[in-house]
Amino acid sequence: MLDTTRHPSSASRLQLVWFKRDLRIEDHLPLYHAAQNGPVLPLYIAEPEWWSQPDASARQWAFVEESLHALREALGQRGQPLICRVGDAVEVLDTLFHMYGAFDLWSHEETGNQWSFQRDQRIKAWSVAHGITWREFQPAGVIRRLQQRNGWAGKWDRSMARALTPPPAGLPALPGITPGAIPVAADLGLPLDPCAQRQSGGRAAGLERLESFLSTRGQPYRSAMSSPALGAVHCSRLSPHLAWGTLSMREIAQATGARKIEVKAQKARDGWAGSLTSFQARLHWRDHFMQKLEDQPSVEFRNFHTAYDGLRPAQGVSKASDSLRLDAWTKGETGLPFVDACMRSLQATGWLNFRMRAMVMAVASFHLWLDWRQPGEHLARQFTDYEPGIHWPQVQMQSGTTGINTVRIYNPVKQGYDQDPDGEFVRQWVPELAVVPRQMIHEPWKWEGAGRVLDRTYPSPIVDHLSAARFAREQIWAVRRDAGFRAKADAIQDRHGSRKSNIAPVGQRPRKARKSHQDQLDLPM
């Protein structure tokens, strides 16, 4: 447990609160406790090197930029606005150290990518060398240095039940320090990234999404979440606010719990109870997946199960045909209408419901037989709500490389018929198919007039999805039959798996199958 009591020896010196993926003042333990110990310098460091990483994009920064302006205003109303600096974090802190002398450093722990982990290691070394005390607080339910998963769910529940931390009533203004401009994407060297329908950043936008979901939009959540069109309306759309911390997981969990109590008291059979239960499960699953990356950071780069190493052409040594397939997939030009509609929708909005995220990743990994890293990086850049701790374990899960999850090879044509039966979503995003009859929209190559469209205004499928799926299934299951595969899978399950899953250790029969959302990628969105 962190020592969060007042430290008299540090009462007269600066308390520097480093905002990272926690762009709010509500339910913010570092800010709350720093304010008890002295004058607070609230700091955000815009790091160009971070934003040059292959998983970063201008659409993400645009959301962050809006959130920083809102955070600056909220802090300013309490007396001291947000200070923003652009540069290397160690250099920024070192400059402040030489300006103001020793200070206490406060922040939340961050489950980020490898770059942010290495940056934090440099900050830690710098802090020790300069006699700086750095106090980090656990965000939500992700536990650092967790030894094993038994009891994790109970710890998560207890964390969510803790009282929300109030913002400080006031912050003394710091004389002589300029707030600094909040940069735009071009200032960080980010390339142009048009995303016309991107969600807006800032806490007010997050609170609106929370209130509207719990009061109206969320009623058909359970039935609507799998459809890309319906999900865009009836999913919570809170994911970018969780990813960048304009809202805390705890306040969302508590608001959802309070709403569920209301619904139960009404005893109405209107779908609300089931939808809220499903949403609560996905809040839990969100941190469950983030815990995987926290416990094993290498999953950003290496297969969970090493038996899959070398199965697909590795990134950087792939054939020219692999590059062509990757390019077609990223542009939404695979010739598989529902896949292309999803990819184009994602490009324009920065969002896609998780069932379709699973499908497009599975198509890249199985049907196009691409190593998961480059498709994963592309999706990371496209998602405004990119959260490394969710993204990379899920990318591997949908690529069949975890060794412990069901191998789910989505049929992209069947998914189209299931989730877009009238073809309205496809027609919206793939207007080249406007002349194709409704009943043929997901398989235009079967239409007698296909020659008017295919390879003219819209490509023929770049793979036969059925034969490609058969090939992938044979390759994946051949690996699973290898000697030693299951023993290593048991070790992965013991370290990362849900204690509610249906995976039995070697020599034991699986428990009776039960409906589970573990493989469905339907996390809170």
pLDDT at position 514:
37
pLDDT grade for 8, boundaries at 50, 70 and 90: very low
Share of the chain above pLDDT 90, in %: 78
pLDDT digits (tens, 9 = 90+) for 280-327: 999 999 999 999 888 889 999 999 898 999 999 876 556 788 999 999
Token pair 């206490």 is at which residue? 104
* Cβ partners under 8 Å of residue 189, min gap 6: 48, 51, 52
pLDDT digits (tens, 9 = 90+) for 41-55: 999 999 999 999 999
Distance of CA 474 to the CA centre of its chain: 31
Q: Which of 2-16, 284-298, 368-382, 479-493 is predicted least confidently?
A: 2-16
pLDDT grade for 2, boundaries at 50, 70 and 90: very low
Q: Half-sphere exposure of 371 toward its Cβ, with a 13 Å CA cutoff?
A: 21
Domain-wise residue ranges, the chain: 8-139, 203-295, 299-496
Give the residue-averaged pLDDT of 432-452.
97
Q: What is the model's pTM?
A: 0.92
Torsion angle, alpha carbons of 216, 220, 226, 232, to 10: -20
pLDDT digits (tens, 9 = 90+) for 77-120: 999 999 999 999 999 999 999 999 999 999 999 999 999 999 99
Q: What is the mean pLDDT of the chain?
A: 91
Q: What token pair was written down for 439?
A: 């009943």
Let me know: does 105 contact 132? Beta carbons within 8 Å. Answer: yes
Let me know: does 152 contact 291? Beta carbons within 8 Å. Answer: yes
pLDDT at position 476:
92
Superfamily for domain range 299-496: DNA Cyclobutane Dipyrimidine Photolyase, subunit A, domain 3 (1.10.579.10)
pLDDT at position 509:
39
* Cβ partners under 8 Å of residue 422, min gap 6: 438
pLDDT digits (tens, 9 = 90+) for 195-206: 999 999 999 999
Let me know: does 297 contact 396? Beta carbons within 8 Å. Answer: no
Residue 44 CA to residue 68 CA, distance in Å, equals 8
Asked if CATH classification 3.40.50.620 holds for the domain at 8-139, the reply, yes or no, is: yes
Residue 479 CA to residue 482 CA, distance in Å, equals 5
Check whether 180 has a pLDDT greater than 70.
yes
Closest C-alpha to 363, from 401, 412, 318, 404 = 412
Check whether 518 has a pLDDT greater than 80.
no
The DSSP code sequence of 438-506 is GGGTT-GGGSTTGGGTBTTTBPPPSS-HHHHHHHHHHHHHHHHTSTTHHHHHHHHHHHH--TTS-PPPT
pLDDT at position 421:
97
Give the residue-averaged pLDDT of 475-489.
88
- List strands edge to edge, sheet with 134-137: 83-86, 40-46, 15-19, 104-108, 134-137
Under CATH, what is the fold of the domain 203-295? 1.25.40
